[in-house]
Amino acid sequence: APRRLPQPQHRFDVISSASGYVEAIQCESVGTACVVLGGGRERKEDSVDPSVGIVLHKKVADAVAKGEALCTVLYNSEDRATHAKQLLKAAFRISEARPMNVPPLVHQVIGQSGELN
């Protein structure tokens, strides 16, 4: 985490329970986990804690070993972290074979004048 931002009190890694390849990551679950930690708002009145968050170490199609970190959770509340950990463990799907249809990272590039490159 950048030093200019407030630092979290705690951190832990979400560990892969199997070796293989990251087949899918449920992005909505990752986002919900961040909100649960306090890094987003459920209601407009809620405050945001800039010290919490999730650092992803693996992306779709990456090889992963059993016991390797999939992501690191930065948190300040044990109760919130427990809920976020459950969401994150379920968000990563590991398969034995490398996924064949990996979605592109960039679909199209839009130029300065709005044309597609």
What residues are paired with 53 via a beta bridge? 74
DSSP 28: H
Domains (range + CATH), the chain: 10-95 (3.90.1170.30)
Ranges of residues in the chain with a pLDDT under 70 are 1-2, 117
Contacts of 8 (CB under 8 A, 6+ apart): 1, 51, 52, 53, 74, 75, 76
Q: Specify the pLDDT at position 33.
A: 98
Mapping DSSP to helix (H, G, I), strand (E, B) and coil, where does residue 10 land?
strand
The first and second tokens of residue 68, run together, are 């390797």
The CA distance from 73 to 109, in Å, is 32
Q: Specify the pLDDT at position 83.
A: 96
Q: Specify the pLDDT at position 34.
A: 97
Q: Specify the pLDDT at position 3.
A: 74
